[in-house]
Chains A and B, each alone.
Chain A
Amino acid sequence: MFNDPNDGSRLVPYPSGALVPERDLGKTPILEVRHLGIDFGGLTAVDDFSLTIGRTEIAGLIGPNGAGKTTVFNLLTNVYQPTRGDILLDGYSTAGKTTAQVNRMGIARTFQNIRLFDKMSVIDNVKVGLNSSTKESFLACMTHLFGYRKAEKLAQEEAMRLLDFMHMTDVAYDEAGSLPYGAQRRLEIVRALATKPGILLLDEPAAGMNPSETAELMENIRKIRDTFQIAVMLIEHDMNLVMGICEGICVLNYGKVIAKGAPEDIKSNPVVIEAYLGKKKEA
């Protein structure tokens, strides 16, 4: 119902063999992950995780609880340093970069448990995101006090535009922590977008939302992709959302990829069904 075959969302094989939406063919993928793995002590949390995401693809990462989905997000943002494997962001390796540098290279994310700067105003949350996307030397930062007016005006306009995009201008000066739950989730997305990412990682964006809010979120995710022409990768348990908007889906179980493909293929994949529902008893 959501996948219109004419909008290029059909997955086609990429030269490397990975599947990306047809419209992203011929462009470098925004994210290419090869054989990524991490061990915590003797425990392998994620192993041999490979994935390619097209420039404007909406991708889903699903799997049962504890499968290692959030660990993958933490690896992609260098919160954890991988034990094995490579991450190429827009063709560049992120190995050895700090989390802040990886963000500036083009990955932004939201959190499973909302982590806004609660005591700052809504618009200041967005500006924190905006600020880091403009590069400045230390000296320029120190002297900012005297020349910030112009930069501040630009940041103000840009922040308002982003808030308007998510219909949040009327609460711009409220304290972020005082917003209702759904609005906090939207603000987290706006703040992530403010860092001008090439790929946006959403960790359970629909958690705690009712069906109508979830439907609105789906619209918003699609709108983000279309407007900013970026890729979105999301972790989500709400299968209606995942099957509804994701073009490619990757299923993780016990830290390993057990299936990859278009939603229709994932839905009917016996390995996936087994991972979610357990093995069928032989009759």
Chain B
Amino acid sequence: MQFLSFLISGLSLGSVYALIALGYTMVYGIAKMLNFAHGDVIMVGAYIIYVVSTMQGLPVWVGILASVLGCTALGMLIERLAYKPLRGAQSLAVLITAIGVSYFLQNAALLIFGSSPKSFSSIINRKPIRLFSGDLVISWEAILTLSVSILIMIALTVFISKSKQGKAMRAVSEDRAAAQLMGINVNRTITLTFAIGSALAAVAGILLCSSYPTLTPYTGAMPGIKAFTAAVFGGIGSIPGAMLGGVLIGIIQMLANGYISTQLSDAIVFAVLIIVLLVKPTGLLGKKINEKV
């Protein structure tokens, strides 16, 4: 029973990681860069809904909408101002810029909201479900997180595989120059990728803070790193890989938390990552890169 309970919280946390990891992996696949500011977009999303719904008292759905739209705009803005001027620059320059953007967002939040944690009120107020005479407790947050994540992942998969823009994204990710010669506007495709990734980050932020209701300017940092780990674990650049990696990292973390040690759980997550990468350097579902002959 205990195992089941760990598994459910692991699945729920893992699906949040998966949503965040999708942003990392899509941006990596299409823009060929690691957007280390991605984790902090989660934090911004959570603050937006905190301001709109908790401070201003507007309905929760208004807060959710504001958060998703705000983060989408933020993601596009970051791309336009910080990364677009560096297109064609060395990847190291872009990486450092991304870390800079991450610190910028954290410190901006620190200036506006201060360092004291805000208590985030969950978007659903319902008593958890108790099964087996109280042996197994399932929170509504976990159920919501899991179902929302599954829906989003299905929608995203359909979008990527079927839609015109999704095909353009896959084409740009495979061969940017050839895609351009097919008339695809690469800049627009990259902007769209950032928009989608940031919207997912907002959703992830709302779900995460509903389950773990303390909000500080550094709330996004650790889940961001974990999600990045998940993306690498699943094979960076691969969308099913990010989903699988996220869920596995969440489950491993929760099981380690429950059975081994709370303090060691992060170390165990990263140890598993190292072992997987030693055995399979491209990640679980990573593609082998074919050298052009």
Contact residues of A with B, CB < 8 Å?
Answer: 77, 79, 98-101, 103-104, 108-109, 111, 113, 115-120, 124, 127-129, 131-133, 136, 138, 141-142, 144-145, 148, 151-152, 155, 177, 191-192, 195
With contact pairs A129-B182, A145-B159 given, residues A124 and B292 touching in the complex (Cβ less than 8 Å): no
Tell me, yes or no, whether B2 is within 8 Å of chain A by CB. no
Whether the Cβ atoms of B163 and A128 lie closer than 8 Å is no
Tell me, yes or no, whether B73 is within 8 Å of chain A by CB. no
Shortest Cβ gap from B46 to chain A (Å): 24
Query: Which of the residues B162, B171, B185, B192 comes within 8 Å of A128, measured between beta carbons?
Result: B171
Name the 5 nearest CB pairs between A and B, nearest first. Answer: A132-B183, A103-B183, A99-B180, A115-B178, A131-B164
Shortest Cβ gap from B166 to chain A (Å): 9
By a CB distance below 8 angstroms, the chain A residues around B162 are: 148, 152
- Chain B 226-275 interface residues, beta-carbon cutoff 8 Å to A: none
Whole-angstrom CA separation of A137 from B170 in the bound complex: 20
Assuming A113-B292, A152-B162, what are 10 further A-B pairs, CB within 8 angstroms? A79-B181, A99-B181, A100-B180, A100-B186, A103-B181, A118-B174, A138-B188, A138-B192, A141-B188, A148-B164
Query: Which of the residues A101, A117, A151 comes within 8 Å of B178, measured between beta carbons?
Result: A117
By a CB distance below 8 angstroms, the chain B residues around A115 are: 175, 177-178
By a CB distance below 8 angstroms, the chain A residues around B158 are: 145
By a CB distance below 8 angstroms, the chain B residues around A148 are: 162-164
By a CB distance below 8 angstroms, the chain A residues around B163 are: 144-145, 148
Query: Which of the residues B182, B188, B192 comes within 8 Å of A103, measured between beta carbons?
Result: B182
Whole-angstrom CA separation of A72 from B180 in the bound complex: 17
Whether the Cβ atoms of A144 and B164 lie closer than 8 Å is yes
Whether the Cβ atoms of B167 and A131 lie closer than 8 Å is yes
Q: What are the interface flags for B179-222 relative to A under an 8 Å C-beta threshold, 1 for contact and 0 otherwise?
A: 11111111010001001000000000000000000000000000
By a CB distance below 8 angstroms, the chain A residues around B180 are: 98-100, 103
By a CB distance below 8 angstroms, the chain A residues around B174 are: 117-120
Whole-angstrom CA separation of A70 from B264 in the bound complex: 58
Tell me, yes or no, whether B280 is within 8 Å of chain A by CB. no
Whether the Cβ atoms of B287 and A108 lie closer than 8 Å is no
By a CB distance below 8 angstroms, the chain A residues around B188 are: 138, 141
By a CB distance below 8 angstroms, the chain A residues around B287 are: 119
By a CB distance below 8 angstroms, the chain A residues around B155 are: 145
Whole-angstrom CA separation of A141 from B195 in the bound complex: 13
Tell me, yes or no, whether B290 is within 8 Å of chain A by CB. yes
User: Nearest A residue to B290 by beta-carbon distance?
Assistant: A118
Whether the Cβ atoms of A195 and B182 lie closer than 8 Å is yes
**What is the interface size of chain B, counting residues whose CB is below 8 A from a CB of the partner?**
30
Q: What are the interface flags for B128-142 relative to A under an 8 Å C-beta threshold, 1 for contact and 0 otherwise?
A: 000000000000000
Tell me, yes or no, whether B168 is within 8 Å of chain A by CB. yes
Whole-angstrom CA separation of A79 from B177 in the bound complex: 8
Whole-angstrom CA separation of A136 from B183 in the bound complex: 12
Whether the Cβ atoms of B292 and A120 lie closer than 8 Å is no
Tell me, yes or no, whether B165 is within 8 Å of chain A by CB. yes
Whether the Cβ atoms of B181 and A141 lie closer than 8 Å is no
By a CB distance below 8 angstroms, the chain B residues around A131 are: 164, 167-168, 184
Q: Can you list 25 pairs linking A and B with CB atoms under 8 Å apart?
A: A79-B181, A99-B180, A100-B184, A100-B186, A101-B183, A104-B183, A109-B181, A117-B174, A117-B178, A118-B174, A119-B174, A127-B167, A128-B167, A128-B168, A129-B183, A131-B168, A132-B168, A132-B184, A133-B183, A141-B164, A141-B192, A144-B163, A145-B158, A148-B163, A155-B164
Shortest Cβ gap from A160 to chain B (Å): 16
User: Nearest B residue to A152 by beta-carbon distance?
Assistant: B162
User: Nearest B residue to A197 by beta-carbon distance?
Assistant: B183
Whole-angstrom CA separation of A152 from B290 in the bound complex: 31
Whether the Cβ atoms of A120 and B170 lie closer than 8 Å is yes
Whether the Cβ atoms of A117 and B164 lie closer than 8 Å is no
Shortest Cβ gap from A179 to chain B (Å): 14
Whole-angstrom CA separation of A136 from B290 in the bound complex: 34
By a CB distance below 8 angstroms, the chain A residues around B159 are: 145
By a CB distance below 8 angstroms, the chain A residues around B186 are: 100
Whether the Cβ atoms of B167 and A144 lie closer than 8 Å is no
Whole-angstrom CA separation of A195 from B178 in the bound complex: 12
Whole-angstrom CA separation of A12 from B109 in the bound complex: 72
Whether the Cβ atoms of B164 and A120 lie closer than 8 Å is no
By a CB distance below 8 angstroms, the chain B residues around A151 are: 164
Whole-angstrom CA separation of A100 from B177 in the bound complex: 9
Whether the Cβ atoms of B178 and A100 lie closer than 8 Å is no
Whole-angstrom CA separation of A127 from B170 in the bound complex: 12
- Chain B 135-154 interface residues, beta-carbon cutoff 8 Å to A: none
With contact pairs A117-B174, A152-B162 given, residues A128 and B292 touching in the complex (Cβ less than 8 Å): no
Whole-angstrom CA separation of A115 from B165 in the bound complex: 20
Query: Which of the residues A77, A120, A145, A152 comes within 8 Å of B181, measured between beta carbons?
Result: A77
Shortest Cβ gap from B179 to chain A (Å): 7
Whole-angstrom CA separation of A131 from B181 in the bound complex: 13
Shortest Cβ gap from A152 to chain B (Å): 7
By a CB distance below 8 angstroms, the chain B residues around A116 are: 178
User: Nearest B residue to A107 by beta-carbon distance?
Assistant: B181
